[in-house]
Amino acid sequence: MAVCDKCGCYNDDHYDGTVTEEEFDNNPLYEPDRYYYWHGDIQEDYQMPKGHDCLCDDCYGELLNKGEIIEKYLDHHINGFLVYDDKQPKEVNPLWNDETMGWFMPIEEVAQ
C-alpha cells in the first residue's frame, strides 16, 4: 500500500474496496503517477525521518533538501533529483552507517 506519511497522497495499491472506484479515482489525494519511497523488509539506500515508512517523490525531495533524509550515496541525487544513468553510485555519504541506517524505525521505538 502506498500512502505518503507526509501529505497523504496515495496510488492504486491503496484501494481497499471501502469506497467506489469512482470516489477513489476522483479524490484529490489520488496520485497514481508519483513514485513512492518506502521502508520494508529490505535495507534501502536512504534513511527516512523516524516514524516514516512511505513518502511520495515530492515529499521525499522536500525532506532530502532539508537534510532530514540521509542517503547512502552522495552521487545518487543531485539537487534533489534522482540521477538515472548506467553508472553505479560510488561516493558514500560520510554520515551513512550501514549497521543502523536504511531500515524503517517505528516512531514508538525512537520517541522515548
pLDDT at 111: 42
With cut-offs at 50, 70 and 90, classify the pLDDT of residue 84: low
How does strand 70-71 pair with strand 46-47? antiparallel
Q: Determine what percent of the chain falls in helix, strand and coil, rounding each to the nearest 5.
A: 20, 15, 65
Q: What is the pTM of this model?
A: 0.75
pLDDT tens for each residue of 8-53 = 998 887 667 777 878 878 889 989 899 999 877 777 888 888 888 8
DSSP codes, 67-105 = T-SEESBTTSEETTEE--SSSPP--B-TT--TTTSSS--
With cut-offs at 50, 70 and 90, classify the pLDDT of residue 73: confident
CA angle 15, 19, 22 (to 5 degrees): 85
